Structure formats: structure tokens, C-alpha cells
Amino acid sequence: MKLKTIASALIIAGALTGCEQGGETAAEKEVNLETKEQKLSYIFGQNIGGQFKAEGVEVDVDAFSEGVSDALSDAEPRLKQEDVLAVLEEFQQEQISQREAENAEAAEKNKAEGEAFLAENAKKEGVVTTESGLQYQIVEEGTGPTPASSDTVEVHYTGTLLDGTEFDSSYRRGVPATFGVDQVIPGWTEALQLMKEGAKWKLFIPSSLAYGPGGTGGPIGPNQTLIFDVELLDASVDGSEEESAETESKE
């Protein structure tokens, strides 16, 4: 929080000091970028300005400049504390309402696209649709045991969105993932209990069996259908370790 405050101050102190000097605006007067302070101010200005633009926040540069200037010079604030709180609360509520509206629109769009995709995908050769709506395609059969809901498995996987965007991959990290069968999204939990160790499957998971209308707050948006390439390396990590320990004790 302190870094953001300092950054904002430096933007105005450095990049905006020439806004109205001699009747010239910032756009009409080129700011020197010779000293370290000037360069830092410009960098901070670019970063914060980019954040404002990305968030869709409209800023009055003159008022913004005066606010930082008053703070740096210890001038008396022009707005009372109760006015500040009221304005900030109104702004925050507007931001929340805007995000909710955007999420609702995205959720509706993603749900429709997912349903259309799954309807067409179900017609493809080799694609199996379960009662829950999960779809899978067997790429390579496994020959080992099938995990139970209480097992811990080891898998390699790649996850993508319908447009092909990769949002996660254990292959890319170079390390298999280990987790409990009942500790993942419902689509995974169901699929793993149908697979045999050594199998490679392609999963098509509807949003209702993935992250639903909430998404992840990151690359996976609301109501997005997900595609996973999954390789079940070990159907029961705990079981394998116990079996190995028993074998060693017998020896």
C-alpha cells in the first residue's frame, strides 16, 4: 500500500508538475527525463496510468495533480474526511456494480458457448458423455488399478479453454501433480474414478462440474467449459508407498 502511495506522489510531482506552468499543458510541454527522479516519476506514471486505463477509471489530471501537490506540501485538504469517505464508497459501489454486470454478461456468454460446444462434441467418434454431463475421450487405455475417492493420485495434465488458451500444465512445469481424488473439481473427481492407471484421457468438463459462475478470478472466467489432457501416472500414491514399505519389511 505504501509503494502505491509513493508511486502516485512521484507521478504527479515528476510527470505532472508542468501541467499548467506558463499556460502550457502536459501534452504541449515535453518533460525532461534526465535525472533518476524524473525517470522514476515517468515510470511510475506509466504504470499507474496503465492501471487506471485497464480498470476503466476516469481521472481528472488537474484535480489529481492538485491533490498530490497539496499532500506533498502539507496543505489543508480541500475535502472534509466525511466527503472523502462518501465519494470513495460511491466509487467502490460503482466499481462493484460494473464488475457484477460484466461478470453476469460473461457468464451468460460462456455458458451458451460451452453448451453449444459440448452438444457438437458429443457427436464426435469416441466421445462419451456421462449422466452428469462430463465428456471424455480415451486416448490411451490404462492397465492398472482405478482410483477410489479416498485415494491420492499422481497425474500429468494440461488445461485449456475452448479457444485453446492454456491456463495450467504440469508438463510445462516438469513436475507431476499429486492430490486427493475428492479434493479437485467434480469433473476431475468423476473422471479419475473411471480411469485406470497408465491411461491418457481427454476431458471436456462443463462449467457445472468445474468452477461454475464464480470462475477462478484469474484465467478461468465465469461458467467456462474446460478441456484437460490427463495422464494417470499413479492411481494410489499412498497405497503404493504402503505396499513398498510392507515389501521392504518382509525382506
Catalytic residues: 157, 167-168, 185, 211, 228
Query: What are the CA-CA distances from residue 61 to residues 29, 58, 124 (Å)?
Result: 15, 9, 56
Cβ neighbours of residue 130 closer than 8 Å, sequence gap 6 or more? 136, 190, 194
Spatial separation of the C-alpha atoms in residues 45 and 32, rounded to whole Å: 14
State the burial class of residue 136 (Cβ atoms within 10 Å of its Cβ: 0-12, 13-18, 19+).
Answer: buried
Sign of CA dihedral 60, 64, 67, 73: negative
Nearest Cα residue to 136 out of 188, 65, 69, 78: 188
Nearest Cα residue to 225 out of 123, 98, 128, 119: 119
Spatial separation of the C-alpha atoms in residues 150 and 236, rounded to whole Å: 9
